[in-house]
Structure 1
Amino acid sequence: MDDCLIGLEGLRLQASIGIYAHELAAPQPLDIDLRLAIDGTLAGRSDDIRHTVDYDQVVSALEELLASRHFNLLEHLSQAMLDVLGQRFPIKRAEITLAKPLAVPKARRVSVTRSAEWKREAVKVVAG
């Protein structure tokens, strides 16, 4: 098994998130940093996108979730995102940081970081 870490940093999406009236009125920017651990054995040998995680599909999955409903808390949204990623992609571990850059006027941003791990079958590579 060959661990491979995929990073997606500085992704900015719009989200309906928050508990205050101004947050309920309109979507706001949400900054996302994501690290995904996969078994990179096949992708490292094949150079085939089918053996890894397609970044565009990851972004699409997150956008679909954000478009589906309002979230009150970053803590809940981060768990929902990890759940979607774990269900849709062959990842072993993930860490996600969500940040609201407009949440506190005197701060650059407010953020939450969560991680999750899934048990996956190891890929067997036959030399040939």
Structure 2
Amino acid sequence: MNSILLAFATLDPRLALHCRALSLRRHEVPVRIGVHAFERQAPQRMWFDVDLCVPLAQAAAAHDDIAHTLDYDFIRAVIAQVVGDQHHELQETLCDRIATQLLANPAVQAVRVATRKPDVYPDSASIGVERVALKS
């Protein structure tokens, strides 16, 4: 089994023992993105995978109450805000902006954001970009 906490621990070993990982998988959003003429005609489906490393103090879940952890709605809201309705040229810059905004939350210590476009090439499942960032 792959553990995102252990992956984050390669950047800083304390993350594995003092944090909780929160994940969002294959969140699908229509995005105006691409440099090719055919990509400028309409929004494309994009998938977003996000992992956050949040200190247990901010996501302890000591009580069965959403107020005691980081709400997943925050992740979706950041993606929606960064995507907006403007045209983006590159997945790389879009991915970086999302990672930067997620990491700006005081509770987030590390982030992994992966973006994928599933409809670009008929002979490929998807094309994508990944970014990992850690608070200093």
User: After TM superposition, is the score higher than 0.5?
Assistant: yes
- CA deviation string 1:68-125 (max 9, x = no partner): 5211111111001011111245200000110000111110000111110114xxxxxx
> What does residue 22 of structure 2 align with?
6
Query: 1:63 and 2:48 equivalent?
Result: no
> What does residue 107 of structure 1 align with?
124
Q: Which amino acid aligns with 2:83?
A: L
> What does residue 49 of structure 2 align with?
33
After superposition, the Cα gap between the structure-2 partners of 1:46 and 1:2, relative to the gap in structure 1 and judged at 3 Å, is farther
Give the 3-state SS of the residue equivalent to 2:39 in structure 1.
helix
Point out which structure has higher relative CO (alpha carbons under 8 A, 6+ apart).
1
Unaligned segments of structure 2, at least 5 residues: 1-16
2:88, 2:79 → 1: CA distance? Answer: 13
After superposition, the Cα gap between the structure-2 partners of 1:49 and 1:41, relative to the gap in structure 1 and judged at 3 Å, is same
Contact between 1:53 and 1:89, CA under 8 Å: does it hold in 2?
no
Unaligned segments of structure 1, at least 5 residues: 120-128
Give the 3-state SS of the residue equivalent to 2:104 in structure 1.
helix
Query: 1:77 and 2:94 equivalent?
Result: yes
Query: 1:19 and 2:35 equivalent?
Result: yes
User: Hey, which bits of structure 1, 4+ residues long, moved more than 2 A?
Assistant: 41-52
